[in-house]
Amino acid sequence: MSSRTRDIPVYVPEKPVKLLDQFRSWLRANHYRYQTEQTYVHWVVTYIRYHSLRHPRGMSTPEIEAFLTYLATQRQCSPATQKVALNSLNCFYRKFLKIDFPPLEFRRSRQYRRPPVVFTDQEARAVIEQLSDPFKLMAELMYGSGLRVSETLRLRIKDIDFGQGQLIIREGKGNKDRITVLSDQLHDRLNLQINLASSYYKYDRQNGVGPAWMPHALARKYSGEASQLGWQFIFPSNEPAKDPQTGIIRRHHHHPDTIRKHIKKAAQEVGLVKLCGPHTFRHSFATRLLESGYDIRTVQELLGHSDVSTTERYLHVMNRGGLGVISPLDRG
């Protein structure tokens, strides 16, 4: 299922009869993110199709184990993909259907530790120069602050601290908040982008467009805050759209596929053949900091990695390839 397909609002009847509609309704009642809802439903549908459309209530441990093994052995899914499928079925059976099962035994997907693709500083700047705002500013934030593309798009006006020269990342990967550096060179252009977001905000207030999206827990805790300027996305979408979960017309942020397409095109225009994308800027941010002598724990904290071993992989691509070894051909 493509990301564009997943963005199409799915109508759920007030009193759903079909099992998947009931599952969607339960996910929405329990305040799961819409992206999580789409992912979980996708894997439940894939599981049912794998077992020739048998009803899920008539299946249990053997069928779940067979499906997860199939993902590893025949579809050769990554460990992360297999884990998402497992989490989806756990939620569907244990939480929604209230059907428990013993610990599962299945073939685990093999973990391949591949070195990250990294831009040189010259390559990163060349790609950035091919972009125009707001996509150029997005790329500069990813390269200058180590942001993921989702974190860049979800930045809100209140998350920019010009005085301290920092960005506050809310609900990053693993639902964790963190603080990272903000380049001084971006202050003026960020202020221009904030002014643009503010103009959209004023227009929307005058034309009855709903408040900015907030996580459900925060929406309850800070009732009314979503209508305040500080909660507006820095990179608002060009047009308001219907919230697929609530039906409210609101202005969200740019779609991640849009910045991916712009960066891919920019890389082609400068002649890069690396398999690069928005995340390559984040890899490059970490590599530049390590090359500059910053402590690996500092880099780990700025990136929001739970385990330092994730950060250590950048040690293998900094300065030179091959663990920094100088080739015999290059010795004087």
When pLDDT is averaged across residues 241-265 and rounded to a whole number, the result is 88
E strands, the chain, in order: 160-161, 166-169, 178-181, 241-242, 249-250
Asked which of 28-42, 68-82, 149-163, 166-180 is least confident by mean pLDDT, the reply is 166-180
Given the residues 47, 143, 201, 314, select the one marked as catalytic: 314
Active site residue 282: yes
Please say if the pLDDT value at position 110 is more than 90. no
Asked which of 1-5, 16-20, 299-303 is least confident by mean pLDDT, the reply is 1-5
Please say if the pLDDT value at position 7 is more than 50. no
135, 139, 261, 270 from 130: Cα distances, Å: 10, 11, 13, 8
Given the residues 125, 158, 173, 189, select the one marked as catalytic: 173
Please say if the pLDDT value at position 249 is more than 50. yes
Asked which of 52-66, 75-89, 223-237 is least confident by mean pLDDT, the reply is 223-237
What single letter denotes the amino acid at residue 300?
A: Q
Cα dihedral: 33, 206, 192, 216 (round 10)? -20
Active site residue 148: yes
State how beta strands 178-181 and 166-169 pair.
antiparallel
Given the residues 148, 178, 254, 262, select the one marked as catalytic: 148
When pLDDT is averaged across residues 239-254 and rounded to a whole number, the result is 84
Please say if the pLDDT value at position 244 is more than 90. no
Active site residue 305: yes
Please say if the pLDDT value at position 65 is more than 90. yes
pLDDT of residue 81: 93
Which of 285, 265, 286 lies closest to 276, judged by CA? Answer: 265
User: Contact, 146 vs 178, CB < 8 A?
Assistant: no
Residues 6+ apart with CB under 8 A from 102: 61
Given the residues 51, 279, 313, 316, select the one marked as catalytic: 279
Radius of gyration for the alpha carbons in the chain, expressed in angstroms and rounded = 23
- pLDDT category at 3 given cuts 50, 70, 90 is very low
